Structure 1
Amino acid sequence: MPEPFDTSSPPFDRLDTKQAQTLLSALDVAYYRRGDTLIEKGDQNSALNIVIKGRVQEVNPDTKEVQAQYIKDDLFDARALLLGHSHHSYRAVEDTLCYVLPKAVFVTLYDENQAFADYFNTSFSQRKRLLEKAQQQQNLAEFILTQVDETNIQPIVTLNHDTSIHDATHILRKQRQDCALVAMKGGENDIGIITRTNLLHALVEDGHSQAHPIGDVATAPVISVEVGDFLFNVMILMTRDRVKRVRVTDNGETVGMLDMTQVLSLFSTHSHVLTLQINRAHSIEELALAANNQQQLVTSLTNNGIHTQFVMELISAVNEQIIEKAFRLTMPDAFYDKCCLFVMGSEGRGEQILKTDQDNGLILADDADWPDVQHYMARFSEVLSRLGYPPCPGNVMVSNPRWVKTQSEWQKEVLALCQISDERSLMDLAIIADSHAVAGNKSLLEPVADRLRSTLKGNMLALNTFVRPCLAFRVPLTLFGSLRTDKEGLDVKKGGIFPLVHGVRTLALEKGIRETNTFDRLNALVECHALEQETANNLTEALKLFVKTRLRQQLNDDAASGNQLDVTLLPRTERDLLRDCLSVVKKFKERLASHYQVRD
């Protein structure tokens, strides 16, 4: 006997109790032998099928192309129930068992329940947002259960009531803090607080002298919370009493403080701790300690359900800080402002999450006289390797003299690559097109980027070759079944991420768009009417899902460099979305091939 039908998974979780009971009462079970046809193209489908076990193939009989494969918990063909006939044929490629929901019952539920109907009517991007919204309650629960402890409180100094404003200001500056507790004269538990703003107002607005005691300008009493209290309660306390800071105590003794900005950041990340470690690093060893905490940050963000695009932006910012700090610690001060270190690839686009290979180059000012520059570049590449950024297999890195040039030489190189217009030179241009300055004199990059944009803008002949790599990889929609049991899985980078990113990059270069981030490029393409809003929305959501799904499996499998997805590990709703994503990419590639007149 099959397991009881699960009404808690989308879209059936949208049914009320009575509707769910109607569903369960109407369900039947059907068995199909391998090779049996469940639905023929043009048939008026009589039921919604939900796979219990086995595998069903959706085939376009005109082209013989497999459109999709359905495995455990997948459902089909709702479109035929709503439109009156099926566009494709469905055949069992294994002995298959399905739940069968009669058309009349499905249509009744569809008509009665708008949320249930929306699941089948909405576009991919809208449906993905609806599913993400359903996860918010779980993410909130995780936040509610986070406690105040030594990992999330900040140190704070306690000053005597009679400390002068002058001395207090110097102490705060030395301690790199913007506030301090004040031991008031009322007794051991009489504690106040001062901030730099308090001290400034005392001097300017109230006319106090620098010798005036801080106890007279401190705010008291100070709201306190105990170690072990829940952060959610701390946020409520701050909101209710309209305070930005609270004192943290352990059995009545001060152990630190929390401020509102910190509490809000702790909801989503521990990035502020990592940023402080990076800023305070005075050696490569200290920087390595901070860099080693980066994956913990990614895990924390992902487990708390933080949106993928935000994770990309945050981690890219952290990576930039790490690389900039490493460059500053490695380079001679005399040459720091005479050069510009830029990163490329996913890091240049601001779309990197886990550490990837080094992809970087160096621009030297035309008047720079730095004969041993390659010695320092080799040293810098070694430092990045120590920090967890492995060397680039294609040697696109500053230790390779080919990626170290003066500004004038880079401009000539870009022009030469555009004129050659073979696949290799244009792929080099694709790498450079995503450049982002991270250290040194960042203004050195802009003239090089301008030369690239102005040369390729509207250059349809060059872009015809430029776009071809993203059309070379077949979208793996037809391979779901075989890859489900294949050791290598589904290559989400070749089949989804790369064609999407490179296709958007090509359109952006054609229009002379300055942005390098794929999401920003999509917005810019909509603004210049090169893409419709719905298309951009679907591509945006597809990229986020590709990255999120890959990241989750990488973290779970400890295979940070892998692009292969084991689709059997995904719940049915995510397989549905993944299929939709790949369909979006497939249509986008067809559009690109037509637009750039690529005939293979």
Structure 2
Amino acid sequence: MPDKLDTSLTPFDRLYPEQQQVLKDALDVAYFRIGEKIIRAGEICSQLFIIIKGGVEEISTDGKETYAHYARDDMFDVRAQLESESRHHYIALEDTLCYLLPREIFVNFYQSNAQFAAYFDTNLARRQDLIEEAQRQQNLAEFILTKIDADNIQPCLMVPRDASLKTVTEKMRAQGFDAALVELNPSPQYGIVTRTDLLHAVMLEQQPSDTAVSHVTTTPVISVNKGDFLFNAMIAMTRHKVKRVQVLDSGQVVGMLDLTQVLSLFSTHSHVLTLRIARADNIAELSLAADSQQRLVETLFNNGIHTLFVMELIATVNEQIIEKAFQLIVPADMHNLCCLMVMGSEGRGEQILKTDQDNALIIQDGVNWPDCPRVMEQLTQTLQQLGYPLCPGNVMVNNPKWVKTQSEWLHTISQCCQQGTEASMMDLAILADSHAVAGNQALLAPLQIHLHQQLAEKELLLSTFTRPALRFSVPLTLFGKIKSGKQGVDIKRGGIFPIVHGVRALALEYAIKDNNTFDRINRLEQHKVLESITASNLSEALKLFIKIRLRQQLNHQAGGQNQPLNISHLSRTERDLLRHSLHVVKKFKEWLGYHYQIRD
């Protein structure tokens, strides 16, 4: 019996161990010559074929339409295992060797193992969830072994035992702490007092504000050591029913950990980064914080955290970095008189690694700011220093085109709609993803309202607006396989852009205010513009494209953001999902062309 089938591959890794053994025992091997018809349409298909080597073509009964090509590790005809008869012909494109799995065994696996059956569901979301769950389980052990170190230890406030409740409360508020360590005798013993303890002492127990803090202090303070595992700190908190522990280094207190922070560190490792950004007093400190963002992404991604969660978190971190840079560079008296907005993937909240700058400035009407060009040039250079590359299209605040008063922006939007050219529509597409991150954010709302009013239900304008989504071909061959050039697959143009821009057009047509593509898809489903299965498949396809690109960027950072995708680095399962996702894009583009009556 053959024993070389790799049962660690999806979907066979979903089988129980005893089922995997049944699988191996039941397999047979068959050889087919080039041109041989392996399955005929209308025939009962009594076995599932798994290609060992060679290639197979699936064609219509009249031979005029090719549906797919299958290569090594691919399976066919799965549909016939559940329907008994095959709908199409399957022909060997070359000498081909296959495993044969009896139909009754496959059906038994399908009916008795829900996870195995879910893989064959046509819903892309369910298939992707199975794979992500396996990856999370694989990386859980590594994730748990994060250690307590300088990056995640919180500083702590220490107060003398005779300090008054009023004094301790003032210090905690001034320094942003919600707990303090109280020095006790004999030194160096400590107790702990929390903001809740102080509140209860004064409000419920009616203790005078000059009462010594030692009277409301809790002892002993549970300790953990620097270099220990965060997991052990969480266990200590759970065991002793406390929310905070002190951290010791060679017996000396070096900081604290609280339960909320530990849970945050386990799930995101973002807590320290956001604290560093908030506490940065100059660009040098902000740059150090921004530099650790790459490690945060790698940690999240390598530990199986959901792609959408990573995107949301990194979007928030980016917003904090850019806002802090704005606060440090723009004069304080101008903060409430202008608004910095970001566009592109950053504006949609879909940025993971730092991408090119896409930003603009709105200045309040009537404000005279002669120094604005110099300040905006400094802000652009500062963002570049923080790791945000210059935009090749020059969509940045150091370009006067993207710095206007509110009235000028409103006029620009109207003018672009009147022109109705593809160039003016692309400017509107950029503005459609605007998101305010710093300054007087209320200045952006009138622009967004005006943009939606100008484009909503304007069929001719929206047709011109949508046309770029259909310009780039989906990287699929005529036979339904992934089409890869010498450099690889341009997944950004062929996969991501058609979804993002097509959904953006629909959002404008139906006056949907959300910026994020996934949120827009959900709204379009709620408005009955997209069917539920289409909305789900579009979301999952976009998520997969982003995830695959991110992995390549992390592994091959020298190639840049727009490096073509090398599909040879993908597993069979990922290639299958990618091919499925590209077919989703192809169908969506066809639907867009019909919806907006675009004829090329």
Normalising by the smaller structure, the TM-score range is over 0.9
How far, CA to CA, are the matches of 1:380 and 1:15 in structure 2? 56
State the partner residue of 1:138: 138
Q: Alpha carbons of 1:305 and 1:536: their partners in 2 closer, same or farther (altered >3 Å)?
A: same
Matching of residue 284 in structure 1 with residue 253 in structure 2 = no
Q: Alpha carbons of 1:598 and 1:243: their partners in 2 closer, same or farther (altered >3 Å)?
A: same
State the partner residue of 2:9: 9
State the partner residue of 2:475: 476
1:281-360 → structure 2 map (5 Å cutoff):
281-360=280-359
State the partner residue of 1:531: 530
Q: Alpha carbons of 1:46 and 1:506: their partners in 2 closer, same or farther (altered >3 Å)?
A: same
Q: Alpha carbons of 1:402 and 1:92: their partners in 2 closer, same or farther (altered >3 Å)?
A: farther
1:476-509 Cα distance to aligned partner (Å, 9 max, x none): 232886755x441111111211111111111111
Q: Which secondary structure does the structure 2 equivalent of 1:564 belong to?
A: coil
Normalising by structure 1, what TM-score?
A: 0.93
State the partner residue of 2:505: 506
Cα distance, 1:184 vs structure 2:
2.7
How far, CA to CA, are the matches of 2:168 and 2:298 in structure 1? 40
1:133-532 → structure 2 map (5 Å cutoff):
133-185=133-185, 187-188=186-187, 190-478=189-477, 483=483, 486-532=485-531
Cα distance, 1:34 vs structure 2:
5.5
Give yes or no for contact 1:357–1:389 (8 Å, CA) kept in 2: yes
Cα distance, 1:41 vs structure 2:
5.3
Normalising by structure 2, what TM-score?
A: 0.93
- Percent identity at matched positions? 57
How far, CA to CA, are the matches of 1:496 and 1:264 in structure 2? 36
1:100-123 Cα distance to aligned partner (Å, 9 max, x none): 223343234334444333322351
1:59-98 → structure 2 map (5 Å cutoff):
67-93=67-93, 96-98=96-98
Cα distance, 1:402 vs structure 2:
1.1
Matched letter for residue 177 of structure 2 = Q
How far, CA to CA, are the matches of 1:280 and 1:108 in structure 2? 60
1:96-151 Cα distance to aligned partner (Å, 9 max, x none): 43322233432343344443333223511122223322333234322322232333
Give yes or no for contact 1:492–1:563 (8 Å, CA) kept in 2: no
How far, CA to CA, are the matches of 1:392 and 1:322 in structure 2? 18
How far, CA to CA, are the matches of 1:192 and 1:158 in structure 2? 10
How far, CA to CA, are the matches of 1:88 and 1:468 in structure 2? 35
Once the two structures are overlaid, the 10-residue window that deviates more, 324-333 or 343-352, is: 324-333
Q: Alpha carbons of 1:385 and 1:87: their partners in 2 closer, same or farther (altered >3 Å)?
A: farther
Matched letter for residue 148 of structure 1 = I
Give yes or no for contact 1:67–1:478 (8 Å, CA) kept in 2: no
How far, CA to CA, are the matches of 1:521 and 1:125 in structure 2? 17
Matched letter for residue 99 of structure 1 = Y
Give yes or no for contact 1:68–1:477 (8 Å, CA) kept in 2: no
Matched letter for residue 143 of structure 1 = F
Cα distance, 1:180 vs structure 2:
1.5
Cα distance, 1:182 vs structure 2:
1.7
Q: Alpha carbons of 1:524 and 1:432: their partners in 2 closer, same or farther (altered >3 Å)?
A: same
Give yes or no for contact 1:377–1:399 (8 Å, CA) kept in 2: yes
Give yes or no for contact 2:50–2:75 (8 Å, CA) kept in 1: yes
Q: Which secondary structure does the structure 1 equivalent of 2:444 belong to?
A: helix
Q: Alpha carbons of 1:155 and 1:501: their partners in 2 closer, same or farther (altered >3 Å)?
A: same
How far, CA to CA, are the matches of 1:237 and 1:69 in structure 2? 56
Q: Alpha carbons of 1:214 and 1:24: their partners in 2 closer, same or farther (altered >3 Å)?
A: same
Cα distance, 1:454 vs structure 2:
0.8
How far, CA to CA, are the matches of 2:230 and 2:196 in structure 1? 26
How far, CA to CA, are the matches of 1:255 and 1:367 in structure 2? 52
Aligned residue pairs: how many? 598
Once the two structures are overlaid, the 10-residue window that deviates more, 307-316 or 587-596, is: 587-596
Cα distance, 1:430 vs structure 2:
0.9
Give yes or no for contact 2:477–2:483 (8 Å, CA) kept in 1: no
1:62-118 Cα distance to aligned partner (Å, 9 max, x none): 796665444433322212332344455545556543322233432343344443333
Give yes or no for contact 1:365–1:407 (8 Å, CA) kept in 2: yes
How far, CA to CA, are the matches of 2:177 and 2:132 in structure 1? 38
Q: Alpha carbons of 1:588 and 1:169: their partners in 2 closer, same or farther (altered >3 Å)?
A: same
Once the two structures are overlaid, the 10-residue window that deviates more, 310-319 or 415-424, is: 415-424
How far, CA to CA, are the matches of 2:167 and 2:63 in structure 1? 82
How far, CA to CA, are the matches of 1:573 and 1:482 in structure 2? 13
Give yes or no for contact 1:58–1:67 (8 Å, CA) kept in 2: yes
Aligned-residue CA RMSD in angstroms? 2.5
Unaligned runs of 5+ in 1: none
Cα distance, 1:301 vs structure 2:
0.9
Cα distance, 1:50 vs structure 2:
2.1
Matched letter for residue 436 of structure 1 = H
Matched letter for residue 503 of structure 2 = V
How far, CA to CA, are the matches of 1:116 and 1:75 in structure 2? 14
Once the two structures are overlaid, the 10-residue window that deviates more, 443-452 or 465-474, is: 465-474
